[in-house]
Amino acid sequence: MSKITTELLLERAVPRSTRLRKIETLNLSKLQLKTGDLDPRLFSRLRHLQKLDLSDNLLDKFPNSLTLPDLRVLNCNNNKLEDVTALKQFPLLEELTYENNVYLTLNDDYKVMFLLQNLRLLNGKDITKLANHVRRVNSRKLTSKVTAHWEKFFRDQLPEKYTAEQVKSIKKKFLKSVQTNVVYGPSSLSEFTRWRVKMIAEEFLAYSLGLELNSDTETEEKMDENEEESTESPREAAEDVAQVVHIYDPLLTTGVTVTPSKRKRNHSKSSPGNKRSKSQASTKEEAAEDVSAEPLHFLQCHSKGNSREDFKTQLWSCVFEPVLDSGARKDPIVSSSRTVATCGGESVCLIDCETGTVLKKYKVATEEFFSVAWTTLTMVISDNRKKAHNILAAAGRRGIVKLIHVAADFCYGEIKAHKKPIATVCFSPTQETHLFTASYDKRIALWDIGIPDCDYNFKASQLLVLETASIPLRIALVPTCPEQYLLAGCEDGCFAWNIKLDKGQKSRPFEAIFQFPDDESMTTSHRVDGLAFLNDDVVVSKSSKPGCIYLWSWSRSFDAKEKGCQRTMSAVILAELEWSTTDMSYLTLSTCPAKEYVFCGDEKGSVWMYNLSSYTTAWGSAKGKRSERRISPTQILKWPELRVNGEQPPEILVNNVVADPAFTYLVVLTSVNITAIWKKS
């Protein structure tokens, strides 16, 4: 048995090649190959492969994640194939042959004709007309029969108000009954008919009742260190049903319904249990400033094992993808697309905020992702031509940074950055290859991730290590000098470091620790779990201990002219934002500098929004002057009343909430595996 290696692939290329990415035709016939020899990681580098010959081998099935996005011609003659459904991973396939696979039948021919929309030649025969019949006429007839079977025998069995158990029971009965009783076409195609009937019935139940769709999701292959990785591109499936907006994604296996009549705009009123004085109550003037925002989509796309019962996976980080041709570093208003990357549990997802479509999904079964960050690298693609590409860095519990070339659906490398979990990552706004990683090992590291070549070879190097006194939770580069100073909110306070690379010292202690007011005195002992800049000077930080959010001046708090290290400084407070009285930790905040907004979620699923545009001018001119009272939220977006699979979700914590730079979309990440997307009118 021949094991497939890089050298073998280069040798068997037609013509022979020096780079995997240049191979367009590959002959792997007569090598006694078994399924386990098809290494998905190696095959994923064959990005431009169009013709593949696997004839005269011992394959019994295909791995589900070979990642051959450009494959057009496939020869699998003379193998031991038992199933063809995995071929759906090659959507551009036009010619397919699998003669002399004794376990394959006419039913399998019909399955591939349905699954491969571009297929025109099957085993040397033109199947264009027959395939169109299978995809359209056959599907239409079966859908009509499935719907009629539900209406006649099952619709009245489901009470108006039903429980999850009742739904589960009737689904099981319906699927069994419909596969037995719905008949169409010759008996020789009965296996194909049952396969399609089950698929149609599950789709019908999913769209009409918000039930789980058992899609044939990809099976991950084992990788190094028992790691599983895959990229998935689910189909969009959203449908209006009567007066209920139903948002559904097949790979997410969960339907979420939101009743529009329950979508109420909420003005500056506190959540139940939040104490507010009469002077802080919402006024008509305040209400007039409210943002007209509506909940747009609710997605459960980070479920472990794609389970619709998963309400435990916590979602932690999201960031909008930069637009490649907008001069992203110059104009924040046009620097972001409507695509957002989110992470939580074992997966990272790319979501189109407008449609609610999960564009891509990247999974590592042994990981729990805590943070994601974007950068744009100028890469050499071919013939020494250069092109800008967005790269996503994702990190979490394993202390490893995954580097994902999103346009290519490819995780091209990793950096083993820390031995303990990574809490957060961020890229430098001025140095595209500089990545900061903050870890539970009480260190913040600065890495140069390098730029990958055509074959995705890259070299990463560590440039700095910043020593912290406690675990760093949030980091932010100072906007006026991002190559000189970094701030970090940590378990025991807020710290600053000099990160200038012209200094010889590679391992550095913190340069300043900031004190914040408590009820009675100044203290540094509380956890700072929220940190962001509102503009070039105003820092927004949140501590769970006082139960409020501080706005303070970086320039007035940190005097760079004074010498010495590990200095204690009093944060010059400009104002306090009224927020929830909860002592719950890790409910972080974010800012939208271009619109001068601050956002922070709470323990009840609400989003507190603060429009600070009327304050920033005064803070810039009146040095040392502090607002006398806490600033109330401009608006509180309450979590809408919704049902997930017929049930109310459990208690909802908003772990993170982020707006795009133009404040068109608001993405809310929760503790119950639900991503909520709001849109401003």
In tens, the pLDDT along 456-502 reads: 889 999 999 999 989 999 999 999 999 999 999 999 899 999 999 98
**Other Cβ atoms closer than 10 A to 596:** 18
To 10 degrees, what angle do helices 164-181 and 139-153 make? 130
- DSSP classification of residue 329: T
Residue 257: pLDDT band by 50, 70, 90 thresholds? very low
Supply the mean pLDDT for the chain.
82
To 10 degrees, the CA torsion angle through 409, 414, 420, 425?
A: -60
Q: Are residues 454 and 594 in the same domain?
A: yes
Alpha carbon distance, N-terminus to C-terminus of the chain: 62
Reading the block at residue 592, the tokens are 């939208």
| CA gap 109, 188 in Å, rounded | 12
| Statement to judge: residues 58 and 194 lie in one domain | yes
Query: CA-CA distances (angstroms) from residue 65 to 68, 86, 316?
Result: 9, 9, 27
Q: Which residue has the tokens 């002959």?
A: 27
Residue 673 lies in a domain: yes
Of the listed ranges 29-38, 253-262, 281-290, 552-561, the least confidently predicted one is 253-262
| 616 backbone dihedrals φ, ψ, rounded to 5° | -65, -35
CATH number of the domain bearing residue 167: 3.80.10.10
Enumerate residues 6+ apart whose C-beta is below 8 A from 508.
Answer: 464, 465, 466, 467, 497, 498, 499
In this prediction, residues 42-70 reach a mean pLDDT of 90
Q: What is the pLDDT of residues 298-337, one digit of tens each?
A: 998 998 877 878 888 999 999 999 988 644 444 455 556 8
Residues listed for the chain: 681
In a domain? residue 222: no
Which of 160, 191, 209 lies at the terminal end of a domain, its last residue?
209
Return the pLDDT at 184: 86
What is the torsion angle, in degrees rounded to the nearest 10, for the CA atoms of residue 470, residue 475, residue 479 and residue 480? 20
- For residues 108 and 203, state if they share a domain: yes
Candidates 413, 420, 407, 400; CA nearest to 376 is 407
In a domain, 218, yes or no: no
Of 523 and 297, which is predicted with more confidence?
A: 297
What is 382-449 written as a DSSP string?
Answer: ETTEEEEEEEEEEEETTSEEEEEEGGGTEEEEEEE--SS-EEEEEE-SS-TTEEEEEETTTEEEEEE-
Q: Which two tokens stand for residue 31?
A: 């090598």
In whole angstroms, give the CA distance from residue 221 to residue 37.
Answer: 11
- 219 or 6: which leads in pLDDT: 6
Residue 126 lies in a domain: yes
Residue 241, pLDDT > 80, answer no
Strand, coil or helix: what is 630?
coil
Q: What is the phi/psi pair of residue 211, to 5°?
A: -95, 175
Q: What is the mean pLDDT of residues 342-360?
A: 92
Instruction: State the residue range of the domain holding 11.
Output: 6-209
Q: Read off the CATH number of the domain in which 540 is found.
A: 2.130.10.10
Query: Cis ω on the peptide bond leading into residue 15 (within 30° of 0)?
Result: yes
* 543 CA to centre of own chain: 27
95-99, 303-307, 388-392: segment of lowest average pLDDT: 303-307
pLDDT score, position 503: 75
Q: Which residues of 117-150 are buried (b: 16+ CB within 10 A; e: fewer)?
A: eebeebeeeebeeebeebeeebeeebbebbbebb
> What's the pLDDT score for residue 522?
52
Q: Which of 189, 209, 229 is the last residue of a domain?
A: 209
Nearest to 25 by CA among 41, 9, 6: 9
Q: How confident is the model at residue 225 (pLDDT cuts 50, 70, 90)?
A: very low
Residues 483 and 595 in one domain: yes
Number of domains within the chain: 2
Assigned token pair, 74: 């496939």
* Same domain membership, residue 316 and residue 192: no
Last residue of one domain, picked from the residues 209, 229, 250 = 209
Does any domain span residue 266? no
Q: Does 474 map to a domain?
A: yes
Q: Which of 231-240, 294-303, 306-315, 537-546 has the highest mean pLDDT?
A: 294-303
Evaluate if residue 401 carries a pLDDT over 60.
yes
Q: How confident is the model at residue 448 (pLDDT cuts 50, 70, 90)?
A: very high
pLDDT above 70: percentage of residues in the chain? 80
Beta strands 357-364; 607-611: pairing state: unpaired
- Which among 134-138, 302-306, 597-601 has the top mean pLDDT? 597-601
Report, in angstroms and rounded to the nearest whole number, the Rg of the chain calculated over CA atoms: 28
The whole-number pLDDT of residue 467 equals 94
Decide if 86 is inside a domain.
Answer: yes
- Residue 457 to residue 6: CA distance in whole angstroms: 14
What CA–CA distance (Å, rounded) separates 41 from 64?
12
Q: Which secondary-structure segment (H or E) carries 23? A: none
pLDDT tops 70 at residue 75: yes
Is 214 within the bounds of a domain? no
Same domain for 479 and 353 = yes
In this structure, how many other beta carbons lie within 10 angstroms of the beta carbon of residue 253? 24
d(CA 259, CA 241): 11
Is 217's pLDDT higher than 80? no
How far apart CA 535 and CA 598 sit, in angstroms, is: 11
**Whether residue 464 is found in the same domain as residue 580:** yes
Residues 513 and 378 in one domain: yes
